[in-house]
């Protein structure tokens, strides 16, 4: 049997190579900023002694151009270098955790997410830094997922790190637990909490999160004190249960590599608590 570490050898090599190329080009352009002034000036002095003004003048004037080239190149490569470094760090983390890593997600992962209501059938999709494996015996995968809807001249983009448990939650009702933004809190204060399930016995939770879904009694039975405590410990955490799948993410946020292991542990814990709820027959009104 091939281990996850063996499978990751190629992915790690690709990530290292990609980061190495971006890093080398970035520092080349950074060095162009000071050296682009110094070297043409020195070359201009040498050219003046040999050929006079005819050659030295244009060489000296190029000292105005090279620093601009360096600044432009470094700025253009900065984003790609940052993304390449993220991929390399996540590849190393996946390998240390015994998870399979790929720089790009397979199309089947996109198809799995197309049926999730809040991001159904986007016009464009992209999945990067895919980790696959299991947590507590449950298959799961995590990736940086970006999707876009094109409405004429307007583009709506969603991008976040997702942890997806593709099965095992078929007996749970469809629902979402969503952090309430500052504007959402103001709206709730002025207009009331329309369309959300109340949790009056947990006022702090109710003030920080909106629980949405159609089967209020069954959904309430799924959300116990331990899950509420987990969510209050990270008030950006979002849970969506739909079609037997569980999605865990921080809305519109790419989780930083230094925090990724904690994020995976949170997702595992949420799946564990909801699996315990699956073991109990849903409460019906």
Over 70: is that where the pLDDT of 253 sits?
yes
The residue written with tokens 């390449």 in the block is 84
Predicted structure pTM score: 0.86
Least confident piece of the model among 21-30, 105-114, 238-247: 105-114
Give the separation between CA 160 and CA 228, rounded to whole angstroms.
22
Which residues sit opposite 145 in a β-bridge?
A: 127, 160
Least confident piece of the model among 183-192, 211-220, 239-248, 273-282: 183-192
Give the separation between CA 252 and CA 160, rounded to whole angstroms.
5
Over 60: is that where the pLDDT of 3 sits?
no
- Is residue 244 within 8 Å of residue 177, measured between CB atoms? no
How large is the greatest C-alpha to C-alpha distance in the chain, in angstroms?
96
35-49, 70-84, 147-161, 180-194: range with highest mean pLDDT: 70-84
111-158 pLDDT, tens per residue? 888 888 888 888 888 999 999 999 878 899 999 999 888 877 788 888
- Is residue 185 within 8 Å of residue 250, measured between CB atoms? no
30-49 pLDDT, tens per residue? 999 999 898 888 888 888 88
- Exposure string of 192-225, with b = 16+ CB inside 10 Å and e = fewer, is ebeebbebeebeebbeebbbebebbebbbbbbee
* Helix 4-51 vs helix 53-61: crossing angle, to nearest 10: 150
């Amino acid at each position: 049997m091939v281990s996850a570490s063996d499978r990751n050898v190629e992915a790690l090599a690709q990530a290292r190579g990609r980061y190495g190329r971006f890093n080398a080009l970035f520092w080349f352009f950074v060095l162009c900023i000071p050296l682009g002034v110094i070297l043409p000036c020195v070359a201009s002095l040498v050219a003046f002694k040999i050929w006079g003004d005819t050659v030295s003048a244009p060489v000296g004037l190029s000292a105005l151009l090279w620093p601009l080239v360096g600044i432009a190149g470094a700025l253009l490569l900065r984003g790609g270098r940052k993304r390449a470094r993220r991929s390399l760090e996540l590849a190393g983390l996946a390998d240390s955790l015994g998870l399979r890593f790929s720089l790009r997600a397979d199309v089947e992962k996109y198809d799995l997410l197309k049926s999730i209501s809040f991001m159904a059938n986007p016009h464009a999709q992209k999945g990067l830094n895919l980790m696959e494996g299991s947590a507590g015996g449950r298959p799961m995968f995590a990736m940086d997922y970006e999707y876009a809807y094109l409405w004429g001249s307007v583009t709506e983009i969603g991008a976040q790190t997702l942890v997806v448990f593709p099965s095992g939650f078929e007996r749970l009702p469809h629902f979402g637990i969503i952090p309430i933004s500052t504007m959402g809190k103001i709206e709730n204060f002025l207009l009331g909490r329309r369309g959300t399930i109340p949790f009056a016995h947990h006022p702090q939770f109710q003030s920080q999160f909106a629980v949405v879904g159609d089967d209020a009694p069954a959904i309430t039975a799924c959300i116990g004190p331990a899950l509420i405590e987990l969510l209050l410990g990270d008030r950006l955490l979002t849970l969506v249960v739909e079609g037997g799948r569980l999605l865990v993410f921080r809305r519109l946020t790419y989780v930083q590599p230094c925090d990724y292991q904690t994020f995976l542990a949170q997702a595992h814990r949420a799946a564990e608590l909801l699996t315990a709820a699956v073991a109990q027959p849903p409460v019906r009104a």
